[in-house]
Amino acid sequence: MQYKSMQAAGQIPATLMPDTPQAAVPVVGSCITRQARRIYVGNIPFGFNEQEMIDFFNQQMHLNGLAQAEGNPILACQVNRDKNFAFLECRSIDETTQAMAFDGINFKGQSLKLRRPLNYQPVPGNSGLESGSTIMGMPGVVSTVVPDSPNKIFVGGLPNYLNEEQVKELLTSFGPLKAFNLVKDVTSSLSKGYAFAEYADPTITDQAIAGLNGMQLGDKKLIVQRASAGNKHMVGAPAQLQVPGMVGSGPGQPTEVLCLLNMVVPEELTDEEEYEDILEDIREECGKFGEVRSLEIPRPVPGVEVPGCGKVFIEFGSSMECQKAQHALTGRKFSNRVVVTSYFDPDKYHRRDF
């Protein structure tokens, strides 16, 4: 009886079949492998049940070809609603490692954080579990782990009311992200006002730093710089690099031309009627701050890389009017996207050098 109760409690492995492929054997009850088969899931949404999360991950595992045998790789889910996290239990060690690739996946509007349990120890002899192994990310999923690298950036001075999706929108106006993590208070889950990120294309890191550093968001100014140790002395110092055509760092010195990023996406500009509506909306909104002399929204052309596509350029009657618009529009939402602003070189604007 004692043996059976210990087995049921997981102190003695229920099955020990070394010759059988790991993925094909549900190893429930094995205390030896349990921690290697568990995944911590943070930043969970409200109002879902355990079965919904189990079904979601099982579906994702099968859709992405990560299930290593018939049946469901995810066996159980325990949710701690007070502390806003959950634990998933997988049937095999290798499938647990595969599932870690879903870190950052969107579940009911929240980017989930997937981590190993704190007391996780790699189990020797199982593929993919050595501590040095790298888990490949899933296409289209932005990882929530931002490893130290020369292209890791620090984003400080964020207003606390901005959530993950809004901060991501701000950053992706320069290009898609590879990894992103908004640092939150553990107890309240509120933003601490800073984040770390890395772009999928490292060549745009400098452009993003130059365009975002010093930008006014509400009553705060962003501090954006490389997170690497060699740049620590630069905290608070504006980046000297420039986004092509943009004057200075952050919004730069006022000119009469304002460039708006993250306000439109190329897909919205293909339809003639929608394009005219957008032009009218922007002209009307900007007219509140002064005379709008001209307005340019470069449109996509199939098979051609159009310079400035996805940006909006507005020429005002004076730099003072442009400045009023810049203060009012920065951080505003347009079609649920947070608008990023910068002054633009008038000569380049008139040459259509976008």
Among all chains, which residue has been given the structure tokens 């993250």?
Answer: 262
The number of angstroms, rounded, from the C-alpha of 326 to the middle of its chain's C-alpha atoms is 26
Same domain, 153 and 177: yes
Helix, strand, coil shares of the chain as percentages rounded to 5? 30, 25, 50
Could you tell me if residue 68 is inside a domain?
yes
28 & 111 share domain: yes
Mark whether 203 and 219 lie in a shared domain.
yes
Supply the range of the domain harboring residue 320: 245-354
Helix axes 205-212, 164-172, angle to 10 degrees: 110
Same domain, 171 and 111: no
With H, G, I as helix, E, B as strand and everything else as coil, classify residue 312: strand
**Non-local CB neighbours of 63 within 8 Å, separated by 6+ positions:** none
Residue 120 lies inside a defined structural domain of this protein = no
For residue 140, pLDDT beyond 90: no
pLDDT mean across residues, the chain? 76
Does residue 129 sit within a domain? no
301 and 341 in a single domain? The answer is yes
Q: What pLDDT is recorded for position 252?
A: 64
pLDDT of residue 210: 86
Q: Do 348 and 320 belong together in one domain?
A: yes
Check whether residue 279 and residue 301 sit in a common domain. Answer: yes
Specify the pLDDT at position 57: 93
Q: Is residue 268 part of a domain?
A: yes
- The count of other CB atoms within 10 Å of the CB of residue 106 is 14
Structure tokens at 124: 């020797």
- Average confidence (pLDDT) over 34-40: 86
The two structure tokens encoding residue 295:
């307005």
Question: What is the predicted pLDDT for the residue at 139?
Answer: 62
Residue 128 placed within a domain: no
- Rounded Cα–Cα distance for residues 195 and 84 (Å): 20
Statement to judge: residues 255 and 352 lie in one domain: yes
Helix (H) or strand (E) holding 80: strand 74-80
Q: Hunting for tokens 């595969």 — which residue is that?
A: 98
Q: Is 59 helix (H, G, I), strand (E, B) or coil?
A: helix
Of 8-12, 38-42, 99-103, 233-237, the least confident: 233-237
Number of neighbours of residue 3 by Cβ within 10 angstroms: 9
Final residue before a domain boundary, out of 184, 209, 241: 241
Q: Up-side HSE of residue 199: CA atoms within 13 Å toward CB? A: 22
How many CA atoms lie within 13 Å of 346's alpha carbon, on the beta-carbon side?
Answer: 13
- Give helix then strand counts, H and E, for the chain: 8, 18
Contact 343, 257 (CB under 8 A): yes
- DSSP class of residue 279 equals H
User: 237 and 250 share a domain?
Assistant: no
123 is a domain residue = no
Q: Which residue has the tokens 């952050």?
A: 250
Residue 130 lies in a domain: no
pLDDT band at residue 32 using 50, 70 and 90 as cut-offs: low
In this prediction, residue 185 carries a pLDDT of 74
Which of residues 226, 241, 256 is at a domain's end? 241
19-28, 148-157, 275-284, 308-317: range with lowest mean pLDDT: 19-28
> Is residue 99 predicted with pLDDT exceeding 70?
yes
The domain boundary, picked from 241, 267, 288, lies at 241
The reply to whether 97 and 6 lie within a common domain is yes
Q: Do 180 and 172 contact (CB within 8 A), yes or no?
A: no
> For the ranges 77-81, 126-130, 177-181, 332-336, which has the lowest average pLDDT?
126-130
131 assigned to some structural domain: no
| Torsion sign (Cα): 318, 321, 323, 329 | negative
User: Among 249-253, 298-302, 326-330, which is the least confidently predicted range?
Assistant: 249-253
pLDDT at 309: 81
**Percent of the chain at pLDDT exceeding 70:** 75
Domain count, the chain: 3
Report the 10 Å Cβ neighbour count for 305. 7
* pLDDT beyond 80 at 331: no
pLDDT exceeds 70 at position 51: yes
Place 293 in a pLDDT band, splitting at 50, 70 and 90: very high
pLDDT on residue 244: 37
Residue 142 pLDDT greater than 60, yes or no? yes
Average pLDDT over residues 229-237: 38
Rounded average pLDDT over 146-151: 80
CATH number at residue 67: 3.30.70.330
User: Are residues 59 and 43 part of one domain?
Assistant: yes
Range with lowest mean pLDDT among 157-161, 164-168, 228-232, 257-261: 228-232
Residues 194 and 209 in one domain: yes
